[in-house]
Amino acid sequence: MAKSKTKARAQQPRPQGKGGASSQQSRQAKIDAARKSSGGTGVNKIVVGSIVAVVAIVAIVGGVIFNSIHQKNQVSQGGKALPAGVSAMGKGWQANQDVKLVAGAPTVAIYEDFRCPICKQLESAFGESIQQLATEGKVKLVYFFKTVIDSNYGGDNSQQAANNALCVAEAGSQYFWKYHNLLYTNQPDEGSTFTNAQFTQFAKQAGLSGTALDTWQKCADAGKYMNYVKSTDDASYKAGITGTPAVFVNHKPVNWQAFSTSAGQPDAAAFSKALETGTLSQSQISTDLKNAKDLS
């Protein structure tokens, strides 16, 4: 059985190489000189400088991101921003609140999606009549923006379109109407989307420029009213309004497709009269919306 060696061997003198002690002193002198040339600390200044630079870049990028998020939150009020005249999430937005209404003006509520093809049909047939009644104060026009096409195809492009239209409205109703019309005139094919470049171009075509255009752009970029638009879609869906377009006059559902001439063309005069008076015949009442609740 091997035994452990508990005693240390006596240390033997180590022979020195050529040059002896003077050679060791020379090497040490070179090491000391190298340390002095680097500041005497032995730390690589290039490495330290690189680390400092990286930290500075990270701090700058982080600051830019933080400021961007902070600015968006300021514009969107932390996602709680409401359009002028709206008291709470889920409530409709009055498009002609800057117009004095005539006595007894009916309330017309329209639930629309800017990417909905049938909404474009309503707009093509009666959009001009609706706008005229609203600008003359003959009806109180309330919009509820829905996102049916977003639900069908994914994404949030309909929501963005409504948000951007509300951003335009901050500059005045005349700009809103133009932007509203441009969205429908240039509506993409179903399943396709508006581009950000188009949204901006429409704002310019609607008449925004200078400070007003900059304000609109900040509002659009921040998605100021995105949560509000979602809230109107959610509220109307719960109320039974699951499709678009939907039209109500004094809470009565309108069968807008029933307004046609004997030649099969849209009867804008009859449609305007029904909205202005709030009076509908039995055939002009929508049976599709009989169980839906108008939120206006």
Q: Residue 162, exposed/middle/buried by CB under 10 A (0-12, 13-18, 19+)?
A: buried
Given this model, what pLDDT does residue 224 score? 98
5 or 275: whose pLDDT is higher?
275
Helix crossing, 196-205 with 157-169: angle to 10°?
A: 20
- Band of the pLDDT at 71, cuts 50, 70, 90? confident
Same domain, 54 and 198: no
Q: Is 215 exposed, middle or buried (0-12, 13-18, 19+ CB in 10 A)?
A: middle
Q: Say whether both 137 and 233 belong to one domain.
A: yes
Confidence of residue 169 (pLDDT cuts 50, 70, 90): very high
Q: Are residues 61 and 121 in the same domain?
A: no
pLDDT band (50, 70, 90) for residue 51: confident
Q: Are residues 55 and 100 in the same domain?
A: no
Residue ranges making up the domain that contains 234 = 93-284
Closest Cα partner for 93 from 199, 196, 167, 181?
167
Query: What pLDDT is recorded for position 58?
Result: 62
Task: Tell me, yes or no, whether 6 lies in a domain.
Answer: no
Q: Are residues 55 and 189 in the same domain?
A: no
Verify that 66 and 126 share a domain, yes or no: no
For residues 235 and 273, membership in a common domain is answered with yes
pLDDT at 64: 55
Would the pLDDT of 182 be above 60?
yes
Higher pLDDT, 93 or 3: 93
- 6-50: pLDDT as tens digits: 333 334 444 444 455 555 666 666 656 655 555 555 556 676 676
Task: Answer yes or no: do 182 and 215 share one domain.
Answer: yes
Q: Is residue 296 part of a domain?
A: no
The answer to whether position 8 is within a domain reads: no
Give the whole-number percent of the chain exceeding pLDDT 90: 75
| For the ranges 28-32, 56-60, 66-70, 136-140, the one whose mean pLDDT is highest | 136-140
Q: Is 28 a member of any domain?
A: no
DSSP class of 142: E
Whether 134 and 275 map to the same domain: the answer is yes
What is the pTM for the complete model shown?
Answer: 0.78
Q: For residue 210, what is the enclosing H or E element?
A: helix 210-222
CA-nearest of 180, 162, 173, 179 to 227 is: 162
Any idea which of 49-53, 97-101, 145-149, 267-271 has the lowest mean pLDDT? 49-53
Same domain for 268 and 127? yes
Is 63 part of a structural domain of the chain? yes
> Between the CA of residue 4 and those of 7, 8, 9, 10, 249, what are the distances in Å?
9, 11, 13, 17, 105
Q: Are 105 and 140 in contact (CB under 8 A)?
A: yes
Q: Residue 36: its pLDDT value, please?
A: 58
- Asked whether residue 177 falls in the same domain as residue 217, the answer is yes
Is residue 110, in this structure, part of any structural domain at all?
yes
Pair 55, 122 in one domain: no
Q: Is 177 inside a domain boundary?
A: yes
Residue 10 lies in a domain: no
Residue of higher predicted confidence among 21 and 138: 138
Mean pLDDT (the chain) is: 87
Kindly report, residue by residue over 83-93, the tens digit of the pLDDT. 999 999 999 99
The CATH code of the domain that includes 216 is 3.40.30.10
Per residue in 72-116, pLDDT tens?
A: 888 989 999 999 999 999 999 999 999 999 999 999 999 999 999
Per-residue pLDDT averaged across 46-60, rounded?
Answer: 67
Separation of alpha carbons 164 and 227, rounded Å = 12
148-157: pLDDT as tens digits: 999 999 999 9
Domain count, the chain: 2
- Please tell me the least confidently modeled range out of 6-10, 56-60, 69-73, 215-219: 6-10
What average pLDDT score do residues 174-201 get? 97
Within a 10 A sphere around the Cβ of 163, how many other Cβ atoms? 27
